[in-house]
Structure 1
């Protein structure tokens, strides 16, 4: 076999190996992917019961109900449509989690329509300022040696 043909065969085999590795990586990532839905999307498309998903929207006013165990809460997520999703979460919520604020919840839908969240992420707008800074802006404390 000529040297030119050997290089061509080697190049084709290397290309196929890279292509196969990419396909395997994509197949593995597909199971780990988490799709994002707004309440309006769920109302239009139906409940995705077969996989873990993320939902996002605003926590409705007056919807947060804390259970006696101290770590389980029920609340409702809505968006700019009239659609809402009832959510149950067991765990510690982020500091920014409150009514009329944005939230992203990761978990699974139950057949009854309730979303069982395994993780809650509070969202904020671009004007967010950490509580320790307050309205005066950035305060730097300096340590001086005397």
Structure 2
């Protein structure tokens, strides 16, 4: 085999290994690529307790209960609700009826223990993923850009 043939074989082999590695990574991360789940998707998926994930939706009206730094509220997509417990300071723009994404752990009792809470930053903004999922369900009718 000539020098060019050996080089070509080496390059093709390296590309095949890289392609295989990328394919295996995407296969292994297929459930974690999603930015967040809505409460309905979480119920359908039946995630095991102790799983770390993100939940997105709207803060249900009348569900926020504050006790010092401990806050309990409900995230809803107007189909399913999920009780969330959080300890810490909430973002200034956190309020009922607004979009929220919470990051944390699903507990054995079906409630969600949040480590962080992200609220939308102004009255017209809705994260694209949240807006798309709420639009699919016919819940959110925001402005079109």
TM-score (norm 2): 0.69
Q: 19-28 or 50-59, which moves further after superposition?
A: 19-28
Matches within 5 A, 1:23-102: 36-67=36-67, 70-81=68-79, 83-102=80-99
In structure 2, the CA distance between the partners of 1:97 and 1:35, relative to structure 1 (3 Å rule), is same
Structure number with larger C-alpha Rg: 1
In structure 2, the CA distance between the partners of 1:41 and 1:23, relative to structure 1 (3 Å rule), is closer
Question: Structure 2: where are the runs of 5+ without partners?
Answer: 126-145
The alignment yields a C-alpha RMSD, in angstroms, of 2.9
Which of 111, 116, 132 is the matching residue for 2:113? 116
CA contact (8 A) 2:86 2:115 kept: yes
How many pairs were matched up? 125
Q: 2-11 or 91-100, which moves further after superposition?
A: 2-11
- Looking at structure 2, the residues matched to 31 and 45 of structure 1 have their Cα atoms a distance apart, in angstroms, of 10
Compute the displacement of 1:127 (Å): 2.5
TM-score (norm 1): 0.68
